[in-house]
Structure 1
Amino acid sequence: GNGSVGNARWTGIPLKAVLEHAGVQAGAKQVTFRGLDHPVLPTTPEFIKALGIDLALSDEPMIAWAMNDADIPFLNGYPIKLIVPGYFGTYWVKHLSEIEVIDHTFEGYFMEKAYRVPDNDCQCVPPGTVPDKTRPIGKLKVRSFITSLQPGAKVKLNEPITLRGFAFDGGHGIQSVEVSEDGGRNWRLAVLGESLGNYSFREWTLQWLPREKGKVGLQVRATNGQGEQQPVKVLWNPAIYVKNNIETTPVTVV
């Protein structure tokens, strides 16, 4: 499902400050990151990720030691963890132990073989086909969810209900969230909650009055600060990465 997402407040030091203190020489191309955890099976490649030097020296990536104003829990990466805002969690190396600046493109398994997407604008190919060329997975796409109702929920006719959820993207911020109860023919603007920063979840609410009995597919879509909006259909790739199509929550009005 959609359970592998989370939103937290991180405290730490900019990665840029650490690299600049250590000294980055001319010709640096990438920075690799290794954690203290190791593969369970001897045949599993070691988990090492890499960032381009420009991203590593930008303002956003950080080395965090606190999560929600407390020590990072062990399962979340204690004692320190790499945070790369706007990027998929595969880059957020837990139990961070080693940082290396290199003058070439890192060829480790989890960059060169795993976590890759088609190398085109939509990061997609026709269903069932294989892309000619791929690149490492990168930034998050705009996405939104309904969280106040689970699929299959029952709601009462003519009783107002507050729909709730959240939206996020890769760092441009959420501009609007809309909800439809008629298959996308008509959309209503939701009320956005407080902005906690462009990399944070943005909560939304909408007052809904169920007016007819029967099955309803509630849909939600978000638009980010760049005007990018969720697509109606899944943009397919072999691993189904970067999925961000409009979500539908089926409910029954009784």
Structure 2
Amino acid sequence: MQRRDFFKKAMTVAGTAAIGSVGLEAKEEVKTVHPVDDRKVSEIAFPQKQPLITYSDRPPLLETPRSVFTSKITPNDLFFVRWHMPIIPTYINSKTFKININGVVKNELSLSIEDLKTQFEQVELTAVLQCGGNNRTAFKPTASGIQWGVGAMGCAKWKGVRLKDVLNKAGLKEESSWIGFNGLEKAVYAKTSNFVRELNLEDLHDDIILAYEMNGEDLPYLNGYPLRLVLPGVYSDSWIKMISNITVTKNRQKLHFMDHAYRVPDNDCECETPENLAQKTKPIEEMNVNSLIGYPTSGTRVKKDAQLVVRGVAFDAGHGIKKVEISIDDGKTWMEAKLDDGKQGKYAYRAFNFTFNPAHIGMLNILCKATNQKGDVQPFAKDIKWNHGGYKYNGIDEVKVEVV
């Protein structure tokens, strides 16, 4: 497939789910429930992807089905897709592509992918990528944004170079304080703000990389080819795709996608109500502890007294998963699941499994919750408070099966 033909092969898919900004119904009860979990996989596959749950083709918005989350690595062709702007280049030549480093630096740089591969130490990092609005359908009234179910996340092995090494080559001036990132996606209207994100220089560390490989292959086109920023432990809004420019500044810029988008109320519960929106907000950054059952999925029929193996994944911002627990009595009692060895690293999925024999015919709810090394525990959905952006949901997961 020629990359210039990439989007010519993607057919329009519409009406599968509500997307975009959604009006708040002030009279509707404010609550949080289990997110929507019954959307169908599209019959149409985008290039380099298997059929996924499709929300839009311009920009491409694709969700991974629940059944994928039994593995500690998400395959590239099943990895979710999230773009912000509808205009994405249909052709990129990796041999002529350059990333520019400029601003408050001693030496401005223009580096090719080959330069990155030959002039810097190569590093690999396994990390979870999750949209801050994953599970947004849990929030009632409807929160603004893409109405994701449970699958706007994935875990991959990323290969590239340390951002710190690239900036060291450019040479940061003494007054350097902020790092701005911009990619090649563009808005339709000139007045629309570019998707630019910033990082405080104090938050720069060795695990932040510029990645050109994903799971041992070139980045898939829809996941940011030929280069993307990887910031492990934080939500995906700052993982800039098709990154083409890095600008170092003395002062923080005024940016729509920093000052207004991807923010939650700056209070202890990070909550508000439709009638009383928070005046003071803060950016979403570190991911909450979370877990998800990949098998069985809701609606699965299982046999009474037969062995059933529950499988799934757990993760957090890098503090480490301490345990995952399973309940088959609606959360009254919990039993500990078996975790994998954790050798993928602190930012990766921890796969878990739990085996039992269903004892009674009828409908059965299976719940899972994770606890990390800090002691943070997934709450029940009903205990998560509402925010207008529908961000940072991490409620106890639940699937409903039929025992026959």
TM-score (norm 1): 0.95
Residue in 1 aligned with 2:230? Answer: 83
**Could you give the per-residue CA deviations for residues 189-218 of structure 1, whole angstroms, max 9, x where no partner exists?**
000013111100110000021111222211
Mapping of 1:35-184 within 5 angstroms? 35-56=183-204, 58-125=205-272, 129-184=276-331
Aligned residues: 253
Conservation of the 8 A alpha-carbon contact between 1:235 and 1:245? no
Displacement after TM superposition at 1:152 (Å): 2.2
Conservation of the 8 A alpha-carbon contact between 1:129 and 1:238? no
Structure 1 gap ranges (5+): none
**Could you give the per-residue CA deviations for residues 62-96 of structure 1, whole angstroms, max 9, x where no partner exists?**
11111111111111111111000001111100111
The 1:129/1:210 distance shift into structure 2, 3 A limit, reads farther
Question: Bigger CA drift: 6-15 or 233-242?
Answer: 233-242
**Could you give the per-residue CA deviations for residues 4-63 of structure 1, whole angstroms, max 9, x where no partner exists?**
11110011111111112211122322110000121234453211111111113x122111
SS in 1 for 2:153: coil
SS in 1 for 2:269: coil
Residue in 2 aligned with 1:236? Answer: 386
- Aligned AA (2:181): F
Structure 2 gap ranges (5+): 1-148
The 1:167/1:45 distance shift into structure 2, 3 A limit, reads same
Conservation of the 8 A alpha-carbon contact between 1:235 and 1:243? no
Mapping of 1:191-206 within 5 angstroms? 191-195=338-342, 196-206=344-354
SS in 1 for 2:222: helix
Residue in 2 aligned with 1:247? Answer: 397
Residue in 2 aligned with 1:11? Answer: 159
Displacement after TM superposition at 1:185 (Å): 0.7
The 1:226/1:79 distance shift into structure 2, 3 A limit, reads same
Displacement after TM superposition at 1:101 (Å): 0.9
Residues of 2 paired with 1:187 and 1:40: CA distance? 51
Residues of 2 paired with 1:120 and 1:234: CA distance? 14
Find the partner of 1:28 among 165, 169, 176: 176
Conservation of the 8 A alpha-carbon contact between 1:128 and 1:238? no
Residues of 2 paired with 1:149 and 1:23: CA distance? 52
- Aligned AA (1:51): L
Matched, 1:208 2:359: no
Residue in 2 aligned with 1:220? Answer: 368
The 1:236/1:82 distance shift into structure 2, 3 A limit, reads same
**Could you give the per-residue CA deviations for residues 161-191 of structure 1, whole angstroms, max 9, x where no partner exists?**
1100000101111110000011111000000
Residues of 1 paired with 2:191 and 2:399: CA distance? 41
Residues of 2 paired with 1:175 and 1:200: CA distance? 13
The 1:173/1:159 distance shift into structure 2, 3 A limit, reads same
TM-score (norm 2): 0.61
Residues of 2 paired with 1:89 and 1:166: CA distance? 18
- Aligned AA (1:251): V
The 1:237/1:76 distance shift into structure 2, 3 A limit, reads same
Displacement after TM superposition at 1:160 (Å): 0.9
Question: Bigger CA drift: 115-124 or 179-188?
Answer: 115-124
**Could you give the per-residue CA deviations for residues 226-251 of structure 1, whole angstroms, max 9, x where no partner exists?**
11111122232111100011111112
- Aligned AA (1:234): I
Residues of 1 paired with 2:352 and 2:188: CA distance? 41
